[in-house]
A = this chain, B = another copy of it.
Amino acid sequence: MASMTEAEIEAELQKGFSTIEVVRKHPSSPVYHIYLNSPSHRNALPLPFFLFDLPRALSLLDALPSARSIVLSARGPHFCSGIHLPSLSSAISLRTPHALHRNILSMQSAITSLETLRKPVIASIHGACIGAGVDLVSACDIRYCTSSSFFSVKEVDLALAADLGTLQRLPRIVGYGNAIEMALTGRRVGAEEARGMGLVTRVWEGREEMEREVDAVAREMAEKSVDAVSGTKAVMLRSRDLSVGEGLEYVATWNTAMLRGSEDLEEAVKAQMEKRKPVFKSKI
């Protein structure tokens, strides 16, 4: 989609999605919102969400220069109640193991796109965040929630090992001990406990307050140098899977590539010396 014009991407986004909604709240806002949008099923995630809607939306937003930060939240009283059961049933009944294998890999790949997206993603969570909902938010960069939210790695109660990323990403976020207890027991973890273990980094009283603050944070990140934001995200992601020494060598090479002649960096230094707000121009 790299070859589409900005207008074409916008038009493509306008066509909409069956399981999500993509919204730009203000015409010139650099923040785009993705809403899980099946409130009548408490946002249970069906197959098309993974195979079509999420990858298509993220691919468009990645290519769209005007989108500089993304907020993932949900319509209705709950963030997400997990995978849509009929989707699970149909996946399991696939004719060949190869087909099932590819199906799982495709679903995983949709979620991993949140991580490889070049723009920061804030998950803004309220109500229940269960099963696949945890897989989803674990791949976001920042997680905020309301005080009445709760989290549950519920897959064990569906008689399966969670296979969309929770078992891999959660231990790096909350530590192995917290993660395995959640995964083996499926117990509910409330907002404050979630914050205590690093699953979310901030908790707000209510949805409105959270939305206001999430918007502010998203806009703030959008105003930073997009090269620096996307570079920081890319380097951290890569370093997560390398030793510290390898990660250091990687970021040294990254910055050698990106900093020489960087106008954003020059502007940042100049602005800081002049004690004014910098204006960044880089685009991706």
A residues whose Cβ falls under 8 Å from a Cβ of B: 2, 85, 88-89, 92, 94, 96-98, 100-102, 104-105, 108, 112, 120, 141-143, 155-163, 165, 167-169, 171-181, 183-186, 196-201, 217, 220-221, 224-225, 227-236, 238-260, 262, 264-265, 267-269, 272-273, 278, 280, 282, 284
Contact = CB atoms under 8 A, between A and B. Distances in A.
A173 B168 contact: no
Given A98-B227, A245-B241, A254 B156 contact: no
A235 B167 contact: yes
Given A158-B269, A245-B245, 14 more contacts: A2-B102, A85-B272, A97-B258, A98-B230, A105-B252, A156-B225, A159-B282, A160-B228, A161-B254, A174-B177, A241-B246, A242-B246, A253-B254, A256-B258
Contacts of A2: 102
| 8 nearest A-B pairs in the assembled complex, by CB-CB distance | A257-B257, A241-B243, A159-B225, A159-B264, A256-B257, A168-B247, A175-B198, A159-B268
Contact of A172 (B143, B171, B197): B171
28 contacts: A85-B272, A101-B252, A104-B255, A104-B256, A105-B249, A141-B181, A156-B228, A159-B265, A161-B235, A161-B251, A163-B255, A165-B244, A168-B251, A171-B172, A172-B176, A172-B244, A174-B198, A175-B197, A176-B236, A178-B198, A184-B229, A186-B224, A241-B244, A241-B246, A250-B253, A253-B253, A254-B257, A256-B258
B239 A167 contact: yes
A97 B244 contact: no
Contacts of A272: 85, 157-158
Name A's interface SS. Answer: helix
A252 B160 CA distance: 11
Contacts of A181: 141-142, 201
A244 B143 contact: no
B98 A258 contact: yes
A99 to B, nearest CB: 9
Contacts of A250: 249-250, 253
Nearest to A169: B244
A180 B142 contact: yes
Contact of A92 (B92, B178, B257, B265): B265
Contact of A232 (B143, B167, B197, B239): B167
Contacts of A228: 155-161
A141 to B, nearest CB: 5
